[in-house]
């Protein structure tokens, strides 16, 4: 298994503060990664999450992210909200609707959202891009970084920032900050199929 935390620590060697486009899936997953990365990058958040069902849940997660940004009070961090189109997104992942949580459907979901991030990053000339998804215990960091490596070859103008934000006490720091801030915390991953799986567990 790759040591993605070792890759991440290399950002301390960067000269200046490059532009980073970072995909964020929800408020609770953003807390530690944003606090850590803003010391090394000029950050633009890309909230691209058409997987989230229903729309009211999407709004709650976006609201938690905005609440955290208010707490950070850092005007240099920009937020871009991608178009929300859950019906077409659900259709794309429905080919794996019978898969258990953490299976092929989830891998496709990571890839779809990360590709949107890479596409936007290349179009708008960001030097780096990444995602906070690896902070979650529900998500497979190995898959996420393999997808990032593959997409970097497809979008060669963008450097993928490898990370497993769970490592190095990242998840502990994230949890402590979330308790302090009392951010909204969802009880399922996001898509309509993950609601079903959560109710069955």
**Mean pLDDT within 140-144:** 96
Taking the model in full, what pTM does it have?
Answer: 0.95
Please check the confidence at residue 201 and state whether its pLDDT lies above 60.
Answer: no
User: For residue 80, what are the β-bridge partners?
Assistant: 46
User: For residue 34, what are the β-bridge partners?
Assistant: none
Please check the confidence at residue 17 and state whether its pLDDT lies above 70.
Answer: yes
- Tell me the pLDDT tens digit for each residue of 37-74: 999 999 999 999 999 999 999 999 999 999 999 999 99
% of the chain exceeding 70 in pLDDT: 98
Please check the confidence at residue 87 and state whether its pLDDT lies above 90.
Answer: yes
Query: Per-residue DSSP letters for 114-167?
Result: HHHHHHHHHHTT-SEEEESGGGSTTS-HHHHHHHHHHHHHHSTTSEE----TTT
Domains parsed from the chain with CATH numbers:
18-200 (3.40.50.620)
Residue 42 DSSP label: E
């Amino acid at each position: 298994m790759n040591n993605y935390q070792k890759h991440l620590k290399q950002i301390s060697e960067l000269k200046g503060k490059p532009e980073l486009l970072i995909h964020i899936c929800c408020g609770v997953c953003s807390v530690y990664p944003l606090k850590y990365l803003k010391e090394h990058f000029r950050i633009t958040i890309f909230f691209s999450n058409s997987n989230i069902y229903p729309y009211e849940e999407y709004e709650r997660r976006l609201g938690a992210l905005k609440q955290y940004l208010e707490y950070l009070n850092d005007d240099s961090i920009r937020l871009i909200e991608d178009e929300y189109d859950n019906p077409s997104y659900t259709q794309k992942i429905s080919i794996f609707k019978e898969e258990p949580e953490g299976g092929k459907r989830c891998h496709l979901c990571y890839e779809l959202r990360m590709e949107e991030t890479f596409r936007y990053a290349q179009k708008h000339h960001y030097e780096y891009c990444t995602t906070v998804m690896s902070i979650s215990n529900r998500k497979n960091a190995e898959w996420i970084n393999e997808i990032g490596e593959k997409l970097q070859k497809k979008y060669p103008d963008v450097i993928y920032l490898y990370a497993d934000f769970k490592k190095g006490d990242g998840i502990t720091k994230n949890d402590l900050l979330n308790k302090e801030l009392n951010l909204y915390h969802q009880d399922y991953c996001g898509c309509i199929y993950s609601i079903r799986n959560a109710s069955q567990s």
